[in-house]
Structure 1
């Protein structure tokens, strides 16, 4: 119990600092408090941490590996916590049926073939699966994400699927890029997508090191791992 209390206090302090950073970034950008949702990226951390975060008011969590995420989501739900689960890692088509069983949002759709696979897998869901198109800011698809010219084709595919709901875009600032430059480019593409698909207004951008730049350029969700959970590398 002592360890649990100590970890809860650690997470509570980290969460307060992260929320204060988000609030300050919103204020500096002239955006209202609460305009940005915190997604706690809990990959490599145990379900016990997710449950502690849920108790502290976190509503959204992100995972990037199906096998780990499926087991963790089941354990958390069995404990009575209802969270919004985001899959944020690169996703293979053969994992589509597994992921749609627990994920509420897939943030990393980067091809029409993956969109089709997810649409088929999600066809029997009571509500459509929310999907974000991952954008390659620097045009290098090897690191994940669609290049700009493919964004429209992939987004149209998602929007036409009965099992999916097009939510918006996600991106990671490329290594070596100024975050403001990266997220400014993303904001332009997000605006163009919202004109084409008016309901697609989610912009998932910004992590522990660059959330302020992301908020400046219109992020609606920031994905925070290290600043919230620390540097641990294993589930136990």
Structure 2
């Protein structure tokens, strides 16, 4: 497992550099979020040994079972919560995450504010925009996004770092990436989390500063996980 994950990481990093160079960008301006959801702690450890330090998890409970122990050996490890976040998980998310990428509704803003006061720490926050207005996906609808971003910036200040999106699978992602980039520029937000295993190179070309790659690093999700 360790050798394969190290090889996969090396290949992804090489592709990221090539995509950045093609776009006339500095490759150092794009960071890789290794999405380790549903993969065991051993897989994360293999990636850490290969030099990866930034990870993404969908489920707070799963993240809490993996990462606190790993931080003991790798204190520079960074954890992002990238999945839709339930309000009742806000305390745990604020406690363990360095960034929450899925702020998408006022109720969650309220929960995160209360949780941060309880924990004494507030992670970085990205507003997730539902660029395809898909009913089955998390994210603030396009028509409400600008107002929600402004409200969030007024509420959380510099902790609002940027925006995140997951384009519809059936559409060209570039239009969605460009939409998000334009929105981030209007609000003066520097972080753009967009692009996954199938389209991260296009996302880098469109200005992504974070790309979220899982299966291309860790392989298919284990079928035993419910």
TM-score range for the pair, normalised by the shorter chain length: over 0.9
Q: Report what 1:225 is aligned to.
A: 214
Any stretches of 5+ residues in structure 2 without a counterpart?
A: none
Q: Report what 1:45 is aligned to.
A: 39
Shift of 1:127: 4.9
Superposition CA RMSD, Å = 1.8
Paired residues in the alignment total 224
Identify which range, 221-230 or 135-144, moves more after superposition: 135-144
Counterpart among 128, 133, 143 of residue 134 in structure 1: 128
Q: Report what 2:146 is aligned to.
A: 152
Q: Report what 1:13 is aligned to.
A: 7
**Partner SS, residue 34 of structure 1:** helix
Could you say if the C-alpha distance between residues 26 and 80 of structure 1 is closer, same or farther in structure 2, counting changes exceeding 3 Å?
Answer: closer
- Cα distance in 1 between the residues matched to 2:102 and 2:135: 12
Could you say if the C-alpha distance between residues 204 and 162 of structure 1 is closer, same or farther in structure 2, counting changes exceeding 3 Å?
Answer: closer
Q: TM-score, normalised by structure 1?
A: 0.88
Cα contact 1:168–1:203 (8 A) shared by 2: yes
Asked if residue 178 in structure 1 is aligned to residue 172 in structure 2, the reply is: yes
Any stretches of 5+ residues in structure 1 without a counterpart?
A: 1-6, 195-199
Could you say if the C-alpha distance between residues 32 and 156 of structure 1 is closer, same or farther in structure 2, counting changes exceeding 3 Å?
Answer: same
Q: TM-score, normalised by structure 2?
A: 0.92
Q: Report what 1:107 is aligned to.
A: 101
Could you say if the C-alpha distance between residues 32 and 78 of structure 1 is closer, same or farther in structure 2, counting changes exceeding 3 Å?
Answer: closer
Q: Report what 2:163 is aligned to.
A: 169
